[in-house]
Amino acid sequence: MELLKQAIKERGKALSDQVLKVDAFLNHQIDTQLMIAVGHEFSARFKNDGITKVLTIESSGIAPSFTTANELNVPLIFARKKKSLTMDDNVYVGQVYSFTKKETNNITVSKDFIKKGDRVLIIDDFLANGQVALGLIDIVKQANASIAGFGIVIEKSFQPGRDQLNELGYRVESLARIKSLQAGSITFIE
């Protein structure tokens, strides 16, 4: 997606050979017009897949997931990183290891929102090591629902996330695939 790649080139920063900072348009300040275009693109790619729910994890996945769910005219569900006081114990629980925070967190989704027979599209802002994806897969499996695929805004292709998902047989649609962040330079897989 050229518009996204342009935003990454102009407003993204390679902080190291592993870390891409995109807080100017995706995960702190949100470029709403870009997110509308992202939702439109994901919707076009998955429109014939019988999607009944879009699932993400809070918080950076919410903006692209919202626009995608809106385009597909289905509900958006986000997994919570912390269980709120208003949630009872009627939840699915998955585990996600954060490489940037060096900790494992339980993520939760109410059993009221994903049911057997749902066809779920998982959307996330980044795919790197695949830990969030694995936690969300676990939640969908607990619900006896199926996964239509993964919509990834930015994939760090030099990390193992895509390979893990492909080995598990999942479809992965990434809008921008980063080949390298070496020497502060962002290069894409075309």
Tokens 């199926």 correspond to: 146
Tokens of 150: 């993964």
pLDDT of residue 85: 57
pLDDT of residue 65: 98
Query: CA-to-CA distance for 170 and 149, rounded, in angstroms?
Result: 6
pLDDT of residue 105: 87
Instruction: Flag whether pLDDT at 123 surpasses 80.
Output: yes
Among 3.40.50.150, 3.40.50.300, 3.40.50.2020, 3.40.309.10, what is the CATH number of 2-188?
3.40.50.2020
Tokens of 183: 């020497």
Cβ atoms of 79 and 57 closer than 8 Å: yes
Contacts of 169 (CB under 8 A, 6+ apart): none
For the chain, give every domain's residue range. Answer: 2-188
Q: Do strands 172-180 and 146-156 pair parallel, antiparallel, or not at all (unpaired)?
A: parallel
Query: CA-to-CA distance for 95 and 132, rounded, in angstroms?
Result: 8
Alpha carbon distances (Å) from 50 to 47, 80, 139, 170: 7, 25, 19, 15
Contacts of 86 (CB under 8 A, 6+ apart): none
As beta bridge partners, residue 92 has 109
pLDDT of residue 148: 98
pTM for this model (two decimals):
0.95
pLDDT tens, residue by residue, 103-119: 888 999 999 999 999 99
CB atoms within 10 A of CB 52: 17
Cβ atoms of 104 and 96 closer than 8 Å: yes
Instruction: Flag whether pLDDT at 82 surpasses 80.
Output: no
